[in-house]
């Protein structure tokens, strides 16, 4: 009678390890762009000032405690701020020109008329709405540049965040 000869154990281990390596490689290519930014997201326990710069243009805004701030680096001209419930995301960047122009130039489907106001500092504040999106901008005092804020949330809930958005916009300072 002839006995069945079992495969060597080292062969099975090799197969499993190879499969794991493939999975890790695929995951790495797919998820690093997602995971790494989150690894650059910070949440502070106190209010903190975030600064942006793009060439000679600068801006700052005060992010409330508990909100998350996501940016590629401290020198990045763009920052994404999220409310603690993560339901509202505001993308802030620096653009040339006055706030009205900045809002008008931002392409958002279904955007309504641009509204003009002033912050409590007296600087120009412009904003317009679209379903689930609010585009706003605060000018520098000379109108040469603006900090643009694009706020996105579930369309059914977006307006409930107006007071929070207003509070954030009122802290924006451009060119300082």
Partner 1 sequence: MRRGPAVVAGLVTVLLLAGCAQPSDPEWMPHAWPAPEIRAVDAPPPPLPPTKVPGLAGERVRNDTLGLQARVSVVPGGEPVSTAALAHVRAAIDLRVAATDHSYTPEVFDRAAGLGERGCQEGSTVRAAAEVIADPALGPVGGSGIAVVCDIVTAAGPVLGQRIRTIEAAAGEPTADRATVLFADVASGEVTDARGLWNAEAAASLWSVIVDVLRREAGALSLAPVPAPEAAELEAFEGVLDTTLPASDGSFVLSLPEGFTAPLLADLGSPPTEAVRHLVIPPARVSALASPLGAMLSSALTAGTPFSPPPSSPARTGSTDCRLVPCVALTYDDGPGPLTPTVLDALAAQRSAATFYVIGRNVEGDADTLRRAVGDGHELGNHTWNHPRLPTLDAAAVGRQIRDTQNAVREATGVRPTSFRPPYGEYDDAVLAEAGLPAILWDVDTDDWRRPADDVLVERAVDRARPRSIVLLHDVHEATARVTPAVISGLRDRGFTLVTVTELFAGAVPASGAWRSAR
Q: Which is nearer to partner 1, 94 or 126 (CB)?
A: 126
CB of 36 to partner 1, least distance (A): 9
d(CA 115, CA 134): 11
Partner residues linked to 149 by β-bridges: 92, 136
Q: How far is CA 166 from the centre of its chain?
A: 17
CB of 2 to partner 1, least distance (A): 29
CB of 108 to partner 1, least distance (A): 16
102-123 burial: b if 16+ Cβ within 10 Å, else e: bbbebebeebeebeeeebeeeb
Tell me how crowded residue 39 is: count the other CB atoms within 10 A of its CB: 9
Q: Which is nearer to partner 1, 54 or 170 (CB)?
A: 170
d(CA 144, CA 70): 26
Q: Which is nearer to partner 1, 4 or 16 (CB)?
A: 16
Residues that bind partner 1 (CB under 8 A): 9, 13, 16-17, 20, 23-24, 27, 31, 34-35, 38-39, 41, 43, 66, 68, 82-86, 88, 113, 115-120, 122, 125, 127, 129, 136, 160-167, 169-170
CB of 136 to partner 1, least distance (A): 7
Give the dihedral sign, CA 72/74/75/79: positive
Q: Which is nearer to partner 1, 101 or 164 (CB)?
A: 164
d(CA 175, CA 94): 10
Q: Which is nearer to partner 1, 32 or 105 (CB)?
A: 32
CB of 79 to partner 1, least distance (A): 15
């Amino acid at each position: 009678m002839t006995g069945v000869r079992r495969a060597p154990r080292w062969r099975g281990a090799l197969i499993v390890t190879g499969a794991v390596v493939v999975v890790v490689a695929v995951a790495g290519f797919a998820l690093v762009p997602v995971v790494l930014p989150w690894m650059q997201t910070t949440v502070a326990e106190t209010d903190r000032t975030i600064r942006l710069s793009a060439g000679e243009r600068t801006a700052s805004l005060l992010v409330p405690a508990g909100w998350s701030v996501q940016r590629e680096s401290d020198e990045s001209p763009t920052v994404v701020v999220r409310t603690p419930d993560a339901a509202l995301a505001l993308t802030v960047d620096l653009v040339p020109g006055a706030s009205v122009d900045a809002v008008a130039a931002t392409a958002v489907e279904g955007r309504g008329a641009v509204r003009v106001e002033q912050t409590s500092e007296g600087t120009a504040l412009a904003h317009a709405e679209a379903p689930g999106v609010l585009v706003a901008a605060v000018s520098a005092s000379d109108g040469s540049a603006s900090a643009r804020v694009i706020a996105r949330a579930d369309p059914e809930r977006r307006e409930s965040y107006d007071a929070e958005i207003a509070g954030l916009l009122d802290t924006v300072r451009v060119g300082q």
